[in-house]
C-alpha cells in the first residue's frame, strides 16, 4: 500500500515532483496509451494522472514505488472516465482457454520454436493485438502484467469477481498469443496452420 | 527424494500454469508444482515458453515513449494551478 501512515508531508516543490514523479512520465504515458488506444486521450489521461498525483502527494509514502502509484492513479481515472457499462457477464471458460494456449505451445515445440518469444521482435504485433482486445480484457492484462497486481487486487479495482479476472486474463493471453503465432507464421518462423479468427472477444 | 507416485499429474500442473507464473498460488502448491517441474522436462519447457510470452507482454507494454511536449504541458498545468518552481 502506498499511502502514508504517519504525518502528512507538505506539498512538493515542482522540482521535487519533477525528480520523483515526472521521471516516470514516459512509462505512464505508455501505459495510458495502452489503456485508451488513442494518443490524444492518452495525453489527457496522463496529464490528469500527474495533476492528481501532485494534489495527493502528501498521502504518498516516500520511498515506496512511485511508478506503481502513478499507474494506479492512471488506471482508476481511466476506469472512472470510461463509465464502465454493466453489459458483461463473465462465463468464459478458463480451462478451455488454457487448453487452447497449450495447443499453441505444442505447435511451436513441434516446429522447433520453443524459444519463439525470445527469437523475434514481437513488439509491433503485440501492440496491434493489444489494441484489438476489448477494454475488459486489456484491463486485466495491464493490471496484472504491468502493475503486477494480484488477481484479487484486480478484481477489487475492476469491481468484478476474481473468477472473472481469471477468465478474462486467460482469454486475453490466449488471444494475444494466437496473434503472435500468426505474426510468426507471416515472418516464416512457423508453418501456417488452419487459422481461427483472432477477435477482441466478446465477454459472454 | 521425491516419490514419483506422489507427483501431480501433468494436466493438473498445466491447469495451474498462469496462477503459478503470476505468483497466485500458496507456498505448498508452488512447492508441489516445482517438484513436478523438477521431474518433467515437458512441463518445464511449457512453463518456460509461457514465461517468455509474459516477459514479452511486459516489455512491450512498459516500453517508455517520447513525452517531451507532454512534460511541458503538465508543468504548464501545474503552474496554471499556482504551483511554481522554487525561485
pLDDT in tens, B39-51: 999 999 999 999 9
User: Domain locations in chain A?
Assistant: 14-82, 94-186
Q: What is the pLDDT of residue A201?
A: 46
pLDDT band at B36, cuts 50/70/90? very high
Using alpha carbons only, how large is chain A's radius of gyration in Å? 19
- Asked if residues A26 and B64 have their Cβ atoms less than 8 Å apart, the reply is yes
- Asked if residues A107 and A75 have their Cβ atoms less than 8 Å apart, the reply is no
Q: What is the pLDDT of residue B19?
A: 95
Residue from the list A17, A115, A146 with its beta carbon closest to the beta carbon of B61: A146
Give A57-105 pLDDT, tens digit per residue. 877 777 788 998 899 889 888 887 775 444 444 456 777 778 888 888 8
Q: Mean pLDDT score of chain A, rounded to an integer?
A: 80
Give the span between the Cα atoms of A141 and A161, in whole angstroms: 16
Q: What is the pLDDT of residue A4?
A: 47
Q: What average pLDDT score do residues B66-75 get?
A: 84
pTM of the full predicted structure? 0.70
pLDDT band at A25, cuts 50/70/90? very high
Give the span between the Cα atoms of A13 and A19, in whole angstroms: 10
Contact criterion met (CB < 8 Å) for B74 and A126: no
Contact criterion met (CB < 8 Å) for A102 and B78: no
CB neighbour list of residue A144: distance below 8 Å, 6 or more residues apart? A150, A151, A154, A165, A169, B22
Establish if B68 touches chain A: CB-CB under 8 angstroms: no
Q: What is the maximum span of chain B, computed from C-alpha positions, in angstroms?
A: 73
Give A135-178 pLDDT, tens digit per residue. 889 889 988 988 889 999 999 988 899 999 999 999 999 999 98
Distance from CA of B42 to the nearest CA of A (A): 10
- Interface pTM (ipTM) of the complex? 0.75
Residue from the list A11, A114, A117 with its beta carbon closest to the beta carbon of B45: A114
Give A117-140 pLDDT, tens digit per residue. 887 778 878 888 888 888 889 889
Q: What is the pLDDT of residue A83?
A: 56
Architecture of domain A94-186: Orthogonal Bundle (1.10)
Of A115, A112, A107, A142, which is closest to residue A127 (Cα–Cα)? A142
pLDDT band at B69, cuts 50/70/90? confident
Give the span between the Cα atoms of A68 and A49, in whole angstroms: 12
Of the CATH numbers 3.40.50.300, 1.10.1740.10, 2.40.340.10, 2.30.30.30, which one belongs to the domain with range A14-82? 1.10.1740.10
Q: List the grid coordinates of B43.
A: 512441463
Establish if B38 touches chain A: CB-CB under 8 angstroms: no
Q: What is the pLDDT of residue A87?
A: 45
Residue whose grid cell is 515445440 = A109
Give the span between the Cα atoms of B65 and A39, in whole angstroms: 11
Establish if B75 touches chain A: CB-CB under 8 angstroms: yes
Q: What is the pLDDT of residue A193?
A: 65
Q: List the grid coordinates of B32.
A: 508441489
Q: What is the pLDDT of residue A204?
A: 34
Residue from the list B15, B24, B66 with its beta carbon closest to the beta carbon of A151: B24
C-alpha pair distances (Å), A74 with each of A11, A13, A32, A77, A110:
20, 22, 7, 5, 42
Q: Which residue has the higher pLDDT, A139 or B3?
A: A139
C-alpha pair distances (Å), A27 with each of A21, A59, A68, A155, B67:
11, 21, 10, 23, 9
Amino acid at each position: 500500500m502506498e499511502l502514508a501512515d504517519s504525518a502528512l508531508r507538505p506539498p512538493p516543490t515542482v522540482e521535487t515532483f519533477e525528480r520523483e514523479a515526472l521521471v516516470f512520465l514516459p512509462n505512464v504515458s505508455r501505459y495510458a496509451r495502452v489503456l485508451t488506444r488513442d494518443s490524444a486521450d492518452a495525453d489527457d489521461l496522463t496529464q490528469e494522472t500527474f495533476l492528481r498525483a501532485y494534489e495527493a502527494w502528501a498521502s504518498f509514502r516516500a520511498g515506496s514505488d512511485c511508478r506503481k502509484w502513478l499507474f494506479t492513479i492512471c488506471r482508476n481515472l481511466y476506469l472512472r472516465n470510461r463509465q464502465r457499462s454493466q453489459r458483461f457477464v463473465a462465463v468464459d471458460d478458463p480451462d478451455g482457454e488454457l487448453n487452447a494456449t497449450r495447443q499453441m505451445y505444442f505447435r511451436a515445440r513441434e516446429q522447433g520454436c520453443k524459444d519463439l518469444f525470445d527469437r523475434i521482435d514481437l513488439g509491433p504485433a503485440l501492440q496491434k493485438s493489444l489494441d484489438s482486445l476489448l477494454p475488459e480484457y486489456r484491463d486485466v492484462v495491464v493490471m496484472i502484467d504491468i502493475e503486477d497486481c494480484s488477481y484479487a487486487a484486480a478484481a477489487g479495482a475492476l469491481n468484478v469477481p476474481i473468477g472473472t479476472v481469471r477468465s478474462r486474463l486467460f482469454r486475453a493471453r490466449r488471444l494475444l498469443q494466437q496473434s503472435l503465432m500468426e505474426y510468426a507464421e507471416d515472418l516464416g518462423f512457423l508453418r501456417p496452420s488452419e487459422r481461427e479468427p483472432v477477435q477482441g472477444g466478446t465477454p459472454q | 527424494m521425491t516419490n514419483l507416485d506422489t507427483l501431480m499429474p501433468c494436466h493438473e500442473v498445466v491447469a495451474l500454469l498462469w496462477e503459478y507464473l503470476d505468483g497466485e498460488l500458496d507456498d505448498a502448491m508452488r512447492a508441489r508444482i516445482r517438484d513436478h517441474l523438477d521431474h518433467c522436462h515437458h512441463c518445464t519447457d511449457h512453463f518456460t515458453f509461457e514465461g517468455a510470452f509474459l516477459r514479452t507482454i511486459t516489455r512491450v507494454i512498459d516500453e517508455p515513449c517520447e513525452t517531451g511536449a507532454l512534460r511541458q504541458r503538465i508543468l504548464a498545468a501545474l503552474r496554471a494551478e499556482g504551483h511554481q518552481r522554487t525561485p
